[in-house]
């Protein structure tokens, strides 16, 4: 049994959000073992960035950019901080994070709790020059009048610091946020956000890629609209997907809690949607697969379904930090077994099969 396996029962006796806070404090000490570099065949060159491997930490783990370097040190190929909003906000009332151990899932209704642009910007300035790919996931304040303006503010705040941006319009925990996925609203949001990015590129001399993060609960028509707008506005990539409101086939009593569900029950739904999106947008747009990844096998499935990059979060709750090394080792074995020159050769190889899966 791993050290985390021994410690997990004690951690699980603590409120989930408190335990997460302790995890961040432990990482912030800097006393984390460095992961040996991954097999060079796992390197990914997309978005104009050189990812040492395709496995990243999803947004929500490090909302305020407190530990991106520790995240990279334990083996992740990239870190995504946020979601960050222009003004600090407390989020929804506690308790608001619930583990579902028998389902290998988590429900959260955090509500974009974060310290705001200024605090994150100060931390990213402090780490400037350390290298590594650190994306910034931007959102809107709960009480804002013009939500698109908040996303524009996010671009302007971090255009000189972010490796890439993620426009998060898919959290179920801010009332009305997912309405921005409707075609007309999405078109306006993307036009304004990308214009702000292009203006910032002129000022700073660097063009930062912009990705869009969508919900797994979109119907077929909604997915088609997102794909069409993303292609029309020339978004750099799409992250599939955020948490789900679905509660199918869960056994834990905590399943009755409101909020977004993440973890293993999301895997099939999110992977099928990922494959459908790959078939809609073609091979050139970058796709990031998220949802239910807790092993090398599930990570490789995301890649064959169409993901250039893969993010994890809830899997760490149950498997611990050793999951990163386990996934990288397993992907390296898969590359050798399939005699691939690069992991990129597997991207989308099973997209049609996955697209037909029951999502």
Positions annotated as catalytic residues are 171
Residue 188: how many CB atoms within 10 A of its CB?
A: 13
Q: Identify the three-state secondary structure at position 80.
A: strand
| Among 168, 301, 295, 281, CA closest to 233 | 281
Q: How far apart are CA 230 and CA 48, in angstroms?
A: 18
Nearest to 261 by CA among 313, 299, 223: 313
Nearest in space to 317 (alpha carbons), one of 52, 112, 60, 144: 60
Q: How far apart are CA 172 and CA 243, in angstroms?
A: 8
**How many residues are recorded in the chain?**
359
Q: Starting at the earlier edge strand, list the strands of the sheet with 105-108.
A: 97-100, 105-108, 260-263
DSSP character at residue 261: E
CA angle 140–145–151, rounded 5-degree value:
30
Q: What is the Cα–Cα distance from 297 to 17, expressed in whole angstroms?
A: 28
User: Can you list the positions of beta strands (E) in 28-187?
Assistant: 44-46, 49-51, 55-57, 78-84, 97-100, 105-108, 134-138, 165-168
Count the Cβ atoms, other than its own, within 10 Å of residue 150: 18
Measured CA to CA in angstroms, residue 178 lies from 196, 241, 263, 323 at distances of 22, 13, 20, 31
């Amino acid at each position: 049994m791993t050290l985390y396996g021994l410690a997990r029962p004690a951690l699980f006796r603590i409120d989930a959000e408190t335990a997460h806070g302790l995890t961040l404090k432990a990482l912030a000490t800097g006393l984390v073992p460095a992961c040996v570099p991954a097999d060079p065949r796992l390197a990914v060159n997309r978005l104009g960035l050189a990812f040492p491997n395709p496995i990243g930490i999803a947004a929500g783990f490090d909302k305020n950019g407190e530990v991106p370097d520790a995240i990279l040190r334990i083996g992740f190929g990239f870190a995504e901080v946020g979601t960050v909003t222009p003004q600090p906000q407390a989020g929804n009332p506690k308790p608001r994070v619930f583990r579902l151990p028998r389902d290998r899932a988590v429900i959260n209704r955090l509500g974009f709790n974060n310290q705001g642009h200024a605090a994150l910007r100060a931390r990213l300035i402090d780490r400037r020059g350390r290298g590594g790919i650190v994306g910034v996931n931007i959102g809107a304040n709960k009480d804002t009048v013009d939500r698109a303006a908040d996303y524009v503010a996010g671009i302007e705040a971090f255009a000189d610091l972010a490796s890439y941006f993620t426009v998060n319009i898919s959290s179920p925990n801010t009332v009305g946020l997912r309405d921005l996925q409707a075609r007309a609203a999405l078109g306006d949001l993307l036009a304004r956000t990308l214009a702000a990015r292009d203006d910032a590129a002129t000022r700073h001399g660097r063009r930062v890629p912009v990705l869009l993060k969508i919900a797994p609960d979109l119907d077929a028509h909604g997915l088609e609209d997102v794909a069409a707008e993303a292609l029309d506005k020339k978004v750099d990539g799409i992250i599939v997907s955020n948490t789900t409101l679905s509660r199918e086939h869960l056994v834990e009593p905590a399943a009755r809690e409101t909020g977004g569900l993440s973890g293993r029950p999301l895997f099939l739904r999110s992977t099928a949607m990922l494959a459908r999106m790959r078939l809609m947008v073609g091979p050139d747009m970058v796709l990031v697969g998220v949802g239910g990844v807790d092993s090398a096998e599930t990570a490789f499935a995301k890649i064959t379904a169409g993901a250039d990059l893969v993010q994890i979060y809830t899997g760490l709750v149950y498997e611990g930090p050793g999951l990163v090394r386990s996934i990288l080792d397993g992907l390296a074995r898969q590359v050798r077994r399939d005699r691939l020159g690069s992991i990129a050769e597997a991207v989308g190889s099973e997209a049609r099969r996955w697209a037909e899966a029951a999502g």
